[in-house]
Structure 1
Amino acid sequence: MPDLPPTSRRRFLGAASAIGLAGAFGALGAGTTSTAQAAESDGVVAVNWPGLGSYSGADAAGSRVTAILAGSARYLIGPWYAATYTHYLPDGYIDLKGTDERAVRLPAMAAVAATTALVTGTYDPRTLSAANATVRTHNLIRTLAARHRANNPDTANRWGGGWQTALWAYYTALAGWLFWDRLDATTRRHLVAMLVWEADRLTTGNGVHLIGTSGEQLYMTRRDGTVVTPGDSKAEEDNWSAAALSLAAAMMPGHPNTARWTRRNVELLLAAAARPADLTSGETINGIQLSSWLRGTNIADDGTLENHARLHPLYMVAFDQSLYQGFVFGLAGRAAPKAALHNITRTYGALVDKSFPLPGGGVTHIYRPGSAEIFYPEGNDWGTHFPFYFGNFDLLVSLTGQDQGITPPAAEWERLHNDDQLSLMSRFTDGRTYGAAGENTYYGREHRVGAMAGQTYLTLFLARNSTGNLLRWT
């Protein structure tokens, strides 16, 4: 198991952090305004760190996630950053080297891991001081926000307005919100403009289409049974788009468009997890009656879903993005929409209890009893090792109580899967998870681990807080 960071503190440090930011930031901090001024000038309500209580991280699950986050953040803001960003451009920003997923999503995910570790006291400074890590993290946030099309007229190096860019904006803005008291005024303005632009774009959609009245749709299968995108559920796209809307609403509760963001967030959450039985259900969730609003489905009645032309467990646990809304609204002192929990128990039950035939005869479950091994009923086209994808989801399900009636409970699976994740990390000294390319073929594999760890740690903090469970649903 990787060493734990050399501190037992697991509390938010906020502006009074002992890591020496005044000296580390120097000119980068010029123009920083107070939290009160920031709220006045841009509508963002900063996280009230002192009012959030504390979390020791000493429980078993907390110790595991702390070690995962500390190692991942140390790798991403240390060796990976140093190898990727070697100089500043003439305008003072780092070179993202493109505008695609590799160039934007990866540093945004790294920023989530680093900011979370730094503000919670879980950062491990054994190879890079927290002060230097803070400067690097600030570079990622300010560059990503400045290059978004809401702030950047240069078509050669701007990003935004694409299929996945709401997710990239979510990661960037989340990192910025966590670091709000350490950001300069220009970066704050850029973050707001970026997130508002992406969130507003999503509110132009309707009950069928994600944006506007054509193009990307909300459902794999229409109400009449027509399969629009065979083997390609829209669940993941819907809930990552909802993430940007949830963050905009949590950060800027007084913005003129907050009501629209809030409504569209609920719509996308419900569409993401819609199943055939919902189409005739009289249930109303967050003001939306399922039978009258839904125009299709993305998961089967048994909780499974298809992606990449197969029944795919990795995309079943992609509902982690829905469950992260608990901590997003919790950081703002608010309840998350109950729509984020819709059908999670059913999907988790399919992972634990549903039987699938084995090639040589007999049956098994996706979660193998007493083991961290995952059974992929129709194969896995992403590689061989994904323990934290599942351990992350297990913990979120456990913390939100979505494993009711499921045996073994999610907490037992979290231990198995996250112990396996720590075993993978123990092979290296720099905090990374993966070795051979075939273990996980995604080029952002380390960044994905870091972003999950950061968001799961924040969920843990709110759920096991010294002031009581701060995760609330309405």
Structure 2
Amino acid sequence: MTSSPRLSRRHLLGASAVLGAASALGLPASARGAGGGAAGAVVPVDRGPLRRYRARDAAGRRIRAILAGSARYLIGPWYAATYRTYLPDGYIDLRGTDERAIRLPAMAAVAATTALATGVYDPRDLSAANAAVRTRNLVRTLAARHLASNDDPATRWGNGWQTALWAYYTALAGWLFWDELDDRERGHLAAMTAWEADRLTTGDDVHLVGTSGHQLYERRRDGTAVTPGDSKAEEDNWSAAVLSLAEAMMPGHPHAPAWARRNVELLLAAAACPADLTGDETVNGIELSTWLQGTNIADDGTLDNHHILHPLYMVAFDQSLYEGFVYGLAGRSAPRAALHNITRVYSALVDKPFPVPGGTAKTIYQPGSGEIHYPEGNDWGTHFPFYFGNFDLLVSLTAQDTGIDPAAARWERLHNEEQLRLMARFDDGRTYGASGENTYYGREHRIGAMAGQAFLTLCVARNGRLRFT
């Protein structure tokens, strides 16, 4: 494997740099202020844990292999087939502003930056130097096209239902690749991150943003369904993600305390269950029974989405657990709220029986197997072992499987060995073949983003820096 590009810690991005970059673009005052604040500064990622972890343990070898293959495919064949020209302003043509145009390259950037920064990158088809050029193209273009630094309605993105997640992926990749970016690109990245984080601080204990529109809960306190069959858990925790990253990257920013508070609120809302509404638990200063105004999961740890009980959305709490590495890279502890009710959800995956025809019952996790039982079906396809193996790893590393048998580490092996078997079918690092295996158009990118974040969590954990308080 090649060594990673050198990323020093000497650079800090102050508010003046952000404002200067925006001013040079002639942006309106509202956009120019998005990344600023007198104390605003991006502190480069602490790369010590990334350099020290060698992935010699069994779980590490599996995640390393998944990341290496996925990054090789995404920054190699996928990039080459997707981005063929530069536009007159020097950026690559993203060919749109929707999820396919923005989220997919942002997820690819997470895989590639992680692989390059940790030395996991496999250069057999494309050198690390050329991979770094392509990766920088993704990061700098995505950040520049965000509306915080872009007033062209034809190319700008942001301020949408899912754009906090896209900004999180882009910002994470940029934070890992900080030394590869120039001052203007860093300004775009900081402005984008702060803008999307600020938008989320406008919500309250009922609404995600503002005082209307998307709500935090599927069900109100009295049990009335706001969005029947559609938990808001995933939306809440992907929104929390950009808040955590903004605060970890820019701890001196004047808005950092508001980002930290809102992050905790969204994490708790994401995993809220009926028992929380009548209990006496206080987490990170929030009294659950008083602040929570609804629920997203059942007391037995299950949740529904797309009008079915949906295991794929149960493991979407991976986004909450990733906060451990985000804060760990900044040398800090993540909020305890990120772990709220994770054990409850994991127990439902491992231990809860669901009736099947013939009068018997099956658990979602199948004993001694990498197969998954979907009690009410799966409308996304047939093959998702890494979605579960990734969650197993995170649960194991955060010790959220206490009292659950078999333990999460055993399930991680079963599910990720199945993932590696899928990848072994191809020689370019990809996971999927027939479309029915996973019908999401960003299926390879989703694997890459999960693998990158799983490996970063391992790096932090194996260096004793995965902490929650």
Is TM more than 0.5 here? yes
* Equivalent AA in structure 1 for residue 241 of structure 2: A
Alignment of 1:14-413 (within 5 A): 14-15=6-7, 35-38=10-13, 41=17, 43-50=41-48, 54-413=52-411
The offset of 1:177, in angstroms, is 0.2
Say if 1:37 and 1:262 are closer, same or farther in 2 by CA, change over 3 A: closer
Structure 1 contact 14–49 (Cα < 8 Å) conserved: no
Structure 2 contact 49–329 (Cα < 8 Å) conserved: no
Structure 1 contact 35–181 (Cα < 8 Å) conserved: no
User: 1: distance between equivalents of 2:385 and 2:94?
Assistant: 30
Show the counterpart of 2:424. Answer: 426
* Equivalent AA in structure 2 for residue 46 of structure 1: P
* Equivalent AA in structure 2 for residue 347 of structure 1: V
Q: How many residues align?
A: 446
| 3-state SS, counterpart of residue 370 of structure 2 | coil
The offset of 1:281, in angstroms, is 1.3
Structure 2 contact 13–187 (Cα < 8 Å) conserved: no
The offset of 1:14, in angstroms, is 3.9
**When the two structures are superposed, what TM-score results if normalisation uses the length of structure 2?**
0.93
The offset of 1:282, in angstroms, is 1.0
| 3-state SS, counterpart of residue 282 of structure 1 | coil
* Equivalent AA in structure 1 for residue 45 of structure 2: V
**When the two structures are superposed, what TM-score results if normalisation uses the length of structure 1?**
0.92
Cα deviation code 1:14-38 (max 9, x no counterpart): 427xxxxxxxxxxxxxxxxx73443
2:464 is the counterpart of 1:472: no
Cα deviation code 1:174-206 (max 9, x no counterpart): 000000111111110000110111000000000
* Equivalent AA in structure 2 for residue 15 of structure 1: L
| 3-state SS, counterpart of residue 35 of structure 1 | coil
User: 2: distance between equivalents of 1:280 and 1:204?
Assistant: 27
The offset of 1:56, in angstroms, is 1.2
| 3-state SS, counterpart of residue 319 of structure 2 | helix
The offset of 1:450, in angstroms, is 0.1
- Which residues of structure 2 form unaligned runs of 5+? 18-39
- Give the aligned CA root-mean-square deviation in angstroms: 1.3
User: 2: distance between equivalents of 1:388 and 1:90?
Assistant: 40
User: 1: distance between equivalents of 2:413 and 2:49?
Assistant: 31
Say if 1:89 and 1:59 are closer, same or farther in 2 by CA, change over 3 A: same
User: 1: distance between equivalents of 2:136 and 2:46?
Assistant: 20
2:460 is the counterpart of 1:455: no
The offset of 1:227, in angstroms, is 0.3
Identity of aligned residues (%): 75
The offset of 1:167, in angstroms, is 0.1
Show the counterpart of 1:24. Answer: none
User: 1: distance between equivalents of 2:196 and 2:348?
Assistant: 33
Say if 1:139 and 1:305 are closer, same or farther in 2 by CA, change over 3 A: same
Structure 2 contact 305–313 (Cα < 8 Å) conserved: yes
Cα deviation code 1:398-446 (max 9, x no counterpart): 0000000000000000000000000000000000000000000000000
| 3-state SS, counterpart of residue 209 of structure 2 | coil
* Equivalent AA in structure 2 for residue 473 of structure 1: F
User: 2: distance between equivalents of 1:214 and 1:381?
Assistant: 30
* Equivalent AA in structure 2 for residue 270 of structure 1: L
User: 2: distance between equivalents of 1:51 and 1:222?
Assistant: 42
- Which residues of structure 1 form unaligned runs of 5+? 1-5, 17-33
* Equivalent AA in structure 2 for residue 194 of structure 1: M
Q: Where do 4+ consecutive residues of structure 1 move more than 2 Å?
A: 12-16, 34-42, 50-53
Show the counterpart of 1:3. Answer: none
| 3-state SS, counterpart of residue 364 of structure 1 | strand
The offset of 1:358, in angstroms, is 1.1
| 3-state SS, counterpart of residue 404 of structure 2 | coil
